[in-house]
Structure 1
Amino acid sequence: MTETTPLHGRIALVTGATRGAGRAIARELAAGGAEVYCTGRSTTAAPSDYGRPETVAETAELIRADGGTAHAVTVDHRDRAQVRTLIERIDATHGHLDVLVNDIGGEAYVEFDTPLWEYDWDEGMRLFETGFLTHLLTSHAALGLLVRHRGGLVVEVTDGTRAYNAAHFRSTVFLDVTKTAVDRLAYAQGHELAPYGGTAVSVTPGWLRSEMMLEHFGVTEETWRAAAEANRGREDALPPYAFAISETPALLARGVRALASDPDRHRWNTQSVSSFELGRHYGLTDADGSLPDSWSFIEALESAQGAEPEVDDHR
């Protein structure tokens, strides 16, 4: 273990490592010295419902190209048998698991602003199963291995801080229940892990400027800010003005790496924390050197006209 590789010797499992935050977290943990298992459904021959080109094999290749150690495993985390086989493989190979990151979202099945009685039941259950039950199934299979050594960490990635979600309805019943359930899962796991020296934390990015979101809004890393600023005060414009405070997956990933590397990480046990809060605590910034506070800005927009993005800008 060195200052640059504080996670050397640790085994990490990152679910949903195909793209976005999952991919970034897997790469950061590997850069910190961890050996990372990258899982997801997407393969070149069989892309997932998102219909995007990224695969977990590509994520592992990026890690290895950077000098890290990674294993790509195609797993549908809705399938208990597949998840158990994955955990048995990690156990047989290493005998321990140190970091579990549950980062499967289910956003492909969201029907925004659709009341429960009009929501397509099958789509709603796919959202709940993909966005929450995958987390529960994976933790159910993995925690027995994680508590074998003291100091294990579980990171539950969700959308929205506990405080924000407690005060805001998240567009639809299925989405609202799914995302708040993930946070509650972190809280509950933290209580059960504590006697074993383990930690469970719920983390959320701000408005994530992922590959999928950039494509959805028809912007690029070079044009997103100007496009969002141009839509100030316009209703239903894409991208919306709030996207001006968006962040890359790097900010959350750097926060998770710092959390995993922190010998005093138990201070975060059962808590809900944002990428901004992790960045502020550990002295981190996004890829461009800024530290955007998305959730505070979104709340300010809701309560006052003319709110300006709050960004600690170190560029």
Structure 2
Amino acid sequence: MEGLTVDASPLDDRIALVTGATRGAGRTIARELAAAGAHVYCTGRSTRAHASDYDREETIEETAALITDAGGTATAIAVDHRDHEQVESLIERIESEQGRLDILVNDIGGEAYVDFDVPLWSFDWERGMKLFETGFMTHLITSHAALGLLSRTTGGLVVEVTDGTREYNAHQYRSTVFLDLTKTAVDRLAFTEGHDLEARGGTAVSVTPGWLRSEMMLDAFGVTEETWRTAAEANRGRADAVPPYDFVISETPMLLARGIAALAADPQRALWNTRSTSSFELAEHYGLYDVDGSRPDAWSFIAALGSSSADEVEVSDFR
């Protein structure tokens, strides 16, 4: 399969659930876990029969087809992870069909509901709660339903995908209260889950990509995989430009996916328990690269830009 990161199939006989597998990081993570041999359950709201309110063309069936067409094993199931009953039914089905769950990747983000730089008192309440419920409560609901099954087998892994490392978020305000609380809560969830799972031989970790060059982000900035770099570089030193200059450090979802697949295959993955890490740190640790052969250190680059003049910071030093 394209993007295979290992020589063998280290996740043979593993059962994985990837939420938000419709597009972006979730889709790519599902494909990489399948490439390493796992049977992947791909869940999300966007199906061929019914699009979610994201109103995107990607579907969970398409994700599963990409996996099976490449020789992997996948099952697509429509689930709204804000609905506890739907999630419980999903876990019951996985238990009935497989008898186990080894890997849970909670990747639902809710970014479509973000209004940046809006103070709490001006933020639309319903929209803010939709962001919190989609970006955090889906993680909590899914873990609540799934961890009983996952913890039955020693060595289970939970990956909570968030935005920003614990260190970075501790000193940065993430633009709006709803976004800030959502993303820091996801990281804290991984920390607490790790404590619960440790006695059962399980591992929980929060992982953040850098500036993710997903389909939605490319579309939002009006660029493509062929034009994004030139467009971002042209905006160096220009405030409020689209895309912003920072986008020069962006990465494809593959860097994150390769890191998570390597972590899942690592016999020593328990050393990561309760930690916050990044696609860059995982790539550095496991010797991985993005599709263009680079290893972007986005969070260090963004921090450097924030403390220096953009003219003094070279992206080549961070890729």
Same fold (TM over 0.5): yes
How many angstroms does 1:126 deviate by?
Answer: 0.4
**Counterpart-to-counterpart distance in 1, 2:116 and 2:7:** 45
Secondary structure in 1 matching 2:43 = strand
* Range 61-70 or range 42-51, more displaced: 42-51
**Counterpart-to-counterpart distance in 2, 1:282 and 1:167:** 28
1:145 is the counterpart of 2:149 = yes
Q: Give deviations 1:263-291, integer Å, cap 9, x for gaps.
A: 00001000000100000000000011100
**Counterpart-to-counterpart distance in 2, 1:239 and 1:117:** 28
**Counterpart-to-counterpart distance in 2, 1:25 and 1:310:** 27
Aligned match of 2:281 in 277, 282, 287?
277
Secondary structure in 1 matching 2:170 = helix
Aligned match of 2:190 in 167, 186, 193?
186
Amino acid of the structure 1 residue aligned with 2:314: E
Secondary structure in 1 matching 2:152 = coil
The answer for the alignment partner of 1:267 in structure 2 is 271
Q: Which runs of 5+ in 1 are unaligned?
A: none
**Counterpart-to-counterpart distance in 2, 1:284 and 1:189:** 27
Amino acid of the structure 2 residue aligned with 1:58: E
1:64 is the counterpart of 2:68 = yes
**Counterpart-to-counterpart distance in 2, 1:43 and 1:95:** 26
How many angstroms does 1:4 deviate by?
Answer: 1.4
**Pairs aligned (count):** 312
The answer to whether the 8 A contact 1:293-1:310 is kept is no
Q: Post-superposition, which runs of at least 4 consecutive aligned residues in structure 1 deviate over 6 A?
A: none
**Counterpart-to-counterpart distance in 2, 1:133 and 1:218:** 31
In percent, how many aligned pairs have the same letter?
71
How many angstroms does 1:44 deviate by?
Answer: 2.4
The answer for the alignment partner of 1:230 in structure 2 is 234
The answer for the alignment partner of 1:98 in structure 2 is 102
How many angstroms does 1:34 deviate by?
Answer: 0.1
Aligned match of 1:39 in 40, 43, 59?
43
1:308 is the counterpart of 2:314 = yes
The answer for the alignment partner of 1:294 in structure 2 is 298
The answer for the alignment partner of 1:14 in structure 2 is 18
The answer to whether the 8 A contact 1:15-1:104 is kept is yes
Secondary structure in 2 matching 1:290 = coil
TM-score (norm 1): 0.98
How many angstroms does 1:48 deviate by?
Answer: 1.2
**Counterpart-to-counterpart distance in 1, 2:23 and 2:270:** 28
How many angstroms does 1:108 deviate by?
Answer: 1.2
Aligned residues: CA RMSD: 1.0
The answer to whether the 8 A contact 1:297-1:310 is kept is no
How many angstroms does 1:312 deviate by?
Answer: 6.5
The answer to whether the 8 A contact 2:298-2:318 is kept is no
The answer to whether the 8 A contact 1:18-1:56 is kept is yes
**Counterpart-to-counterpart distance in 1, 2:316 and 2:61:** 37
**Counterpart-to-counterpart distance in 1, 2:239 and 2:21:** 34
Amino acid of the structure 2 residue aligned with 1:181: A
The answer for the alignment partner of 2:3 in structure 1 is none
**Counterpart-to-counterpart distance in 1, 2:115 and 2:230:** 28
TM-score (norm 2): 0.96
Amino acid of the structure 2 residue aligned with 1:215: D
How many angstroms does 1:51 deviate by?
Answer: 1.0
The answer to whether the 8 A contact 2:44-2:79 is kept is yes
Secondary structure in 2 matching 1:154 = strand
Q: Give deviations 1:154-185, integer Å, cap 9, x for gaps.
A: 00000000000000000000000000000000
